Amino acid sequence: MKIEAGQGSFSIGEADMDKKKFDVLVERESAINWNAFDTYMTPAGSHWPRFFYYYGNDTGFLEWSKKRAIEDFFWQPSIPADINLNAAQIGNLTVRSNKIPVKIALPSGEDDCLLGLRSLNLSGDLEKFEILSENTNPYIRLYPNVTRDKIALPYRLPAFKSLGKITGLDVIVEPLGQALDCESLLQFPNLQGLSLTGNLSNVASLNKLEKLESLAIRYAPNLENFPSLNSWDNLKSFIGWNIEEITGKRLKTELKELVKSGKELEYCSVSKLRNSVWFTTEYGIPFTNWESKSAKIATKAYKAALQKIVNGKTENEIKQALVELIETINKLSNIETAEREDTGIAIQQLIEASPVKIQSETANDWFDEVRDF
């Protein structure tokens, strides 16, 4: 195999995956000789690869890491898995579940490893994870599978009873997808550091996390009822970045008042305040998974419709802009069920940007009248 100069990672996929996306493909049940990497080093003298991406079912990398530390390891098994991280020297471990049960026993906290587990990142179907933990406290990152439908009921994190003692948590969802219900974060009462990215719901409940010292909110299009920064007595750092402008302006004022009051703060910033149109044009366009040529045409038509809608003054102007988008998509080939659903999502996003109130049912009627797919 050929590895380009400067590539610090190595990716292993299963035999039926796209070979263009991996350095090597192996059979699903094949064992990996992880010791084959022992002799490889970077020019600086550190282990190579520094980062692994592994889709497969051989858990031998855990035993191997006890002798050869790994900086970052991503793993997605395709069969149920049960692993123990005691003595494993993996700095940042990411495990993704695609509807597969995964049980993970965290280190006891008594191991004297050169590179212990600093962060555990769980992604995909979080309800499929079972975490066993005694007294360890790694930084936890959660990337749940959520729908792209932002009007769906807010997503609640599953219960992770053994993680009640953790002090650091990062949760990431899409800015314009299903919202994260912040009330489900209250299962972690000892949090001192919390970072939230994406669409959020029930943000008022965050004031119940009384031990917070550091809070970061990013790419959040809706922060209505967000608590005052005075809600947390121990708060030392607050970051609001690419957040909705109305609440953002209020938080900016509160931050200035905290500074004037003499409160001891570390790094704090509220910047990149955004309106709903910005979020829609940056993150809301739902055609990214379409065939390339069709995606470009649909995206161009979407942006043109959005421009007309935000400047629209009557219901008829809004309708005409939507009709032009739908008629453009009518002319595209290979518009199947998935593409129809994407277009429906686009219609709903566009009416939300409208200064003229348009009912969802009305927009759906226009959609059904015009589409021929």
**This prediction's pTM:** 0.84
Predicted confidence (pLDDT) per residue in 81-106, tens digit: 999 999 999 999 999 999 999 999 99
Report how far residue 2's alpha carbon sits from residue 266's, in angstroms, rounded to the nearest whole number. 46
Backbone torsions φ then ψ of 267, nearest 5 degrees: -70, 125
Please check the confidence at residue 75 and state whether its pLDDT lies above 80: yes
Q: Are 207 and 215 in contact (CB under 8 A)?
A: no
E strand segments, 265-338: 269-274
Cα 327 to Cα 162, 191, 214, 358: the distances in Å are 53, 51, 49, 20
337 alpha-carbon distance from chain centroid: 25
Cα 87 to Cα 13, 105, 107, 247: the distances in Å are 26, 11, 7, 45
The residue behind tokens 């094949």 is 30
Report how far residue 195's alpha carbon sits from residue 145's, in angstroms, rounded to the nearest whole number. 18
- Reported as half-sphere exposure (CB side, CA atoms, 13 A), residue 309 has a value of 31
Please check the confidence at residue 177 and state whether its pLDDT lies above 90: no
pLDDT bracket for residue 223 (50, 70, 90): very high
**Average pLDDT of span 317-344:** 93
- Reported as half-sphere exposure (CB side, CA atoms, 13 A), residue 201 has a value of 17
pLDDT bracket for residue 277 (50, 70, 90): confident
End-to-end CA distance of the chain: 45
Q: Are 293 and 337 in contact (CB under 8 A)?
A: no
Can you give the pLDDT at residue 111? 52
**Average pLDDT of span 8-24:** 94
Report how far residue 191's alpha carbon sits from residue 213's, in angstroms, rounded to the nearest whole number. 8
Can you give the pLDDT at residue 158? 98
pLDDT bracket for residue 209 (50, 70, 90): very high
Report how far residue 274's alpha carbon sits from residue 221's, in angstroms, rounded to the nearest whole number. 8
Backbone torsions φ then ψ of 99, nearest 5 degrees: 65, 20
Q: Indicate the average pLDDT of the chain.
A: 92
Can you give the pLDDT at residue 110? 54
